[in-house]
């Protein structure tokens, strides 16, 4: 009996919805559980909070341990505390969402014994616990936030074409965008740095590459600047 308290306490966990972007789909990284409950089921990467780490640190640690991912965009989503969300005992989890460059972390996902894999968000398996609810909420948050804040760049390679950028928005928002209007607006924002480089190894005219200009962005935000795309 290593630890004792006056009052019964819920266990605290963290979970992460990790999004990645394919040429065709928005994907989520899932872990196959090798322990009960829900052994064999796919679930969000996550685990229990330790006393010597903040909630944010716990989420990053679990991400590293279970998927090998580090230094990614990660933000708190919401806390889920239904009574029966874990059949073993009372567990309250702080859900997060993360955005990663799929190209940089190609096969990465599989560190400890469990299997890990990317699934398209519109073709998901049945998930363990209440993870489908968490995932739905994370997706809604991403769709809402991507239009106001330049977080979408976290899903793209550092250098990207305007077509890639447009595809990213189309995939996340699940609707087509007009090419000319999109380019006009995107360039007018003044947060894209035009590079002296073009795509390589494509069987057609190579597109010019751009980079997200974070410095300009920060400067513009300071001057009260409304993003919106």
Partner DNA sequence: CCAAAAGTGTTTCACGTACACCCATGC
Partner DNA sequence: GCATGGGTGTACGTGAAACACTTTTGG
Binding string, residues 151-170; x marks residues near DNA by CB under 7 A: ----------xxx-------
Choose among DNA, its own copies, none what residue 3 binds, the Cβ cut-off being 5 to 8 Å by kind: its own copies
Specify the residue, 2 or 123, whose C-beta has the smaller distance to its own copies.
2
Stretch that binds DNA, among 20-28, 65-73, 130-138, 173-181 (CB under 7 A): 173-181
Among 171, 35, 54, 56, residue whose Cα is nearest residue 102: 171
**Is-contact 67 116, C-beta < 8 A?**
yes
Query: Shortest gap between Cβ of 142 and its own copies (angstroms)?
Result: 17
Select the residue interacting with its own copies from 82, 112, 115, 174 (CB under 8 A).
Answer: 82
Give the Cα-Cα-Cα angle 74, 137, 115 (nearest 5 degrees).
Answer: 65
Paired strand residues for 20: 27, 100
- Give the distance, in angstroms, between the CA of residue 210 and the centroid of all CA atoms in the same chain: 22
Count the neighbouring beta carbons within 10 Å of the beta carbon of residue 33: 17
d(Cα 103, Cα 155) in Å, to the nearest integer? Answer: 9
Choose among DNA, its own copies, none what residue 205 binds, the Cβ cut-off being 5 to 8 Å by kind: DNA
**Which residues, 42 to 71, sit near its own copies by CB under 8 A?**
48-49, 51-56
Interface ranges with its own copies (CB under 8 A) = 1-12, 48-49, 51-56, 76, 78-83, 90, 92, 94
């Amino acid at each position: 009996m290593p630890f004792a308290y006056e009052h019964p306490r819920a266990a605290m966990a963290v979970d992460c919805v990790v999004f990645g972007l394919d040429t065709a789909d928005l994907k989520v990284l899932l872990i196959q559980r090798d322990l009960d409950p829900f052994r064999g089921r796919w679930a969000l990467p996550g685990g229990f909070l330790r006393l010597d780490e903040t909630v944010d640190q716990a989420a990053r640690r679990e991400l590293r341990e279970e998927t090998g991912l580090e230094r990614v965009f990660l933000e708190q989503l919401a806390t889920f505390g239904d009574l029966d969300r874990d059949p073993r005992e009372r567990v309250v989890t702080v859900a997060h969402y993360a955005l990663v460059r799929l190209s940089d972390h190609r096969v990465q996902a599989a560190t400890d014994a469990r299997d890990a894999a990317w699934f398209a968000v519109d073709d998901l398996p049945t998930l363990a616990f209440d993870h489908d609810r968490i995932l739905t909420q994370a997706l809604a948050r991403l769709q809402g936030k991507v239009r106001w804040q330049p977080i979408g760049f976290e899903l793209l390679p550092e250098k990207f074409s305007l077509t890639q950028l447009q595809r990213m928005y189309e995939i996340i928002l699940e609707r087509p965008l007009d090419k000319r209007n999109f380019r006009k607006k995107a360039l007018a924002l003044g947060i894209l740095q035009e590079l002296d480089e073009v795509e390589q190894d494509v069987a057609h005219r190579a597109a010019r590459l751009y980079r997200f200009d974070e410095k300009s962005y920060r400067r513009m935000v300071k001057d009260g600047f409304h993003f919106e795309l």
